[in-house]
Amino acid sequence: MDGYIAKAQPFAQPILEHVRERVHAVVPDVEETLKWSAPSFTLDGKILLIMAAFKAHMALNFWRGQEMRGNEANGDAMGQFGKIASLADLPPEAELDRLIREAADLAKSAPAPRKAKHEPKPPPAMPPAFAAALDKAPKSKAVLEGFSPSAQRDYLEWIAEAKQDATREKRIATAIEWLAEGKKRHWKYQNC
């Protein structure tokens, strides 16, 4: 969070620091983190609020702000307070503290964050023709084995989904060539 504040526009730095100070004063056991590349405060893994600084304004977004402010929410920009360009645009300190406390109470009453329910994908089957080609090209085989499971899956599925033998053979030859050069299946798009 320190790095984010240091890189923010000069007008935003005191606002970000003030909100940070108030959050820590009201909720001492709050945790600082970055969510979607923006400074965020969490309590037991549940988001209380997020701050974001832009070129000419910043936004303060209470995670459950709709529940907290109802129809008072400002629709001008992200967050419940519209475009914040100075400390004067924030609610008075007592009001801000009350909102932070309310956000913490809501977070404590919220259910725990859900864990992913899906099982990891099983590894795809190695096409026999590709396995034979890799046995003849140990460098390509070593590169493939060094890739992450998703990068390996990209090659295996690409080859397995070929409908004609000629297409499969062409893809295997291309894969062996690219792997020998250390390239992932979608290497053309990696630096876009």
Determine, yes or no, domain membership for 118: no
User: Which structural domain, as residue segments, surrounds residue 90?
Assistant: 2-109
**This prediction's pTM:** 0.51
pLDDT 10s digits, 88-108: 888 888 888 888 888 888 878
DSSP labels, the chain: -HHHHHHS-TTHHHHHHHHHHHHHHH-TT-EEEEETTEEEEEETTEEEEEEEE-SS-EEEEETTHHHHHGGG---SSSSSS--B-SGGGSPPHHHHHHHHHHHHHHHHHSPPPPPP-SPPPPPPPPPHHHHHHHHH-HHHHHHHHHS-HHHHHHHHHHHHT--SHHHHHHHHHHHHHHHHTT--TTGGGTT-
Give the end of a domain, one of 78, 109, 140: 109
Give the end of a domain, one of 50, 77, 109: 109
Please give the average per-residue pLDDT across 165-184, as a whole number. Answer: 94
My answer on whether 18 and 103 are in the same domain is yes
Determine, yes or no, domain membership for 165: yes
pLDDT 10s digits, 141-159: 999 999 988 899 999 999 9
